[in-house]
Amino acid sequence: MNTKRPRLCSLVTENVEQESDTLQPNEVGITTFVQPLVKGFEAVLKNRWEDFIVREFRGHVYAKLTSLAPIPDPAPEVADFNTEEKLGAYMSELRSLNRGDSEMLKFKAPDNKSDRTQIHQAIRSLFSSLESTTLKEDSENFIIVRRKNNIEAKGSRQPRRRANGMAKNTPYCHFVLYKEGKDTLSAIQVLSRFLHVGPNVFSYAGTKDRRAITTQFVTAKSINSKTLSLLNARLHGLRVGNFSYVSSPLFLGDLDGNQFVVVLRSVCAPRSVVETAINAWKCTGFVNYYGLQRFGHSSKSKSFEIGKYLISSLSGRWPETSNTSFRTPPLCALALLLTHTSRKEFCGRGDRRKGCILDLPGGVIKKT
> Which residues belong to the active site?
209
Instruction: Give the CA count within 13 Å in the CB-facing half-sphere of 250.
Output: 25
Region label for 56, one of left (φ > 0), alpha (ψ between -120 and 50) or beta (otherwise): beta
Rounded-to-integer distance, Cα 220 and Cα 235, Å = 17
Number of Cβ within 10 Å of residue 136's Cβ equals 9
Rounded alpha-carbon distances, angstroms, from residue 69 to 44, 66, 72? 38, 9, 10
Rounded alpha-carbon distances, angstroms, from residue 169 to 27, 160, 165, 185? 54, 10, 12, 28
Residue 46's contacts (CB-CB under 8 Å, 6 or more residues apart) are 14, 52, 211, 212, 262
Q: Which of helix, strand or coil describes residue 56? A: strand
Q: Cα torsion at 190, 182, 200, 58 (round to 10°)? A: 130
